[in-house]
Amino acid sequence: MRFAFFGDSWVYHWAHSSDTVRLSNTFKDRYKVEEGKVLPDEASFLFGELLRSMGHEAISYGSPCSTLEYVIRDLEYKHDPSADFHVVFVPAVLRELSHGSRFWDKVPLDIRKSLEKFLQFYENYQLRLIWKLNRVAEEKNLRILLIGGHGPLTDTSAQSTNNLITVITKDLLKDLLLERDPVYAQHNELKYTNHFRFTTDIDFNTFAEEGWSKEIIQRMIADIEQTIDLDNPKINPIFRPLLYPDGGHPNATTQLWLLNKVLLAAEEIYSKRTLV
């Protein structure tokens, strides 16, 4: 089978910077180049290497820091006609705030002041992008395997995908953690869709002046601290084992778990295909 990957930096495996001070020539040649793109030293397309070692084909169109809107546009114009499956990682819609404030300009002031209204606006925005993904899948006849990653999918978004899209996981980190240890189901962090988990590229002070409410900022900061605060030895975020050592991307073990889920879904779909 042939897989084409689309998304943000979560398409790649990211090592700790200290691990890449000196790289072997073999590592540089084998792992650093994907379809003419030279990746940062810390990054490698581990999904691709694993799939190729299993006899499959894989290509990556992942672009670090991409917004969901950009990922869908990339899929529309750069999709691989020869691919059996397009694996799509969902970035957080909130990331739009750090890309020229295009998203922020669309948020009315009264919504900026209310956490409840803001979340509803945010989730509706994500849903509209999922509808756009549906349209692209239908127009291009793409079989898509969808992954809630940097940006978890809401229940509504996941349930609104068409029959060409298979949701592998609505929330990669949450689903893996609960599968390994169901006791975490009672943890406050996992009782709601966490849209603010990786919003560290947002300047809270700047946006507070432009309309953030204290309630929204407190929720954001609390969510971040529970997830990736690797500098505070007193805090042991529940997702740290899934993200260590870089703190913001799935580690190799997490990627192995996810790749198995991707292959299980692909094999089931492939076995039901209509033979001509």
Model confidence pLDDT, tens digit, residues 16-60: 777 777 778 877 666 555 555 666 767 889 999 999 999 999 999
Q: Are 161 and 167 spatial neighbours (Cβ–Cβ below 8 Å)?
A: yes
Rounded Cα gap, residues 57 and 36, in angstroms = 16
**pLDDT above 70: percentage of residues in the chain:** 84
In this predicted structure, the answer to whether residue 269 has a pLDDT above a threshold of 50 is yes
DSSP code, position 39 = P
pTM of the model: 0.91
Neighbours of 222 (CB within 10 A): 13
Q: Which three-class secondary structure state does DSSP give residue 268?
A: helix
Q: Are 238 and 177 spatial neighbours (Cβ–Cβ below 8 Å)?
A: yes
| pLDDT band with cut points at 50, 70 and 90 for residue 61 | very high
In single-letter form, the type of residue at position 92 comes to A
Q: Which three-class secondary structure state does DSSP give residue 1?
A: coil
The position carrying tokens 């650093």 is: 32
In this predicted structure, the answer to whether residue 230 has a pLDDT above a threshold of 70 is no
DSSP result, 78-102? H--TT-SEEEEEEPPGGGGGGSTTT
Report, at the CATH architecture level, how domain 2-271 is classified.
3-Layer(aba) Sandwich (3.40)
Average of pLDDT values for 252-276?
90
Average of pLDDT values for 182-206?
81
In this predicted structure, the answer to whether residue 208 has a pLDDT above a threshold of 50 is yes
More confident residue, 237 or 39: 237
Residue ranges of the domains in the chain? 2-271
* Residue-level pLDDT at 276: 45
Residues facing 58 on adjacent strands = 3
In this predicted structure, the answer to whether residue 145 has a pLDDT above a threshold of 70 is yes
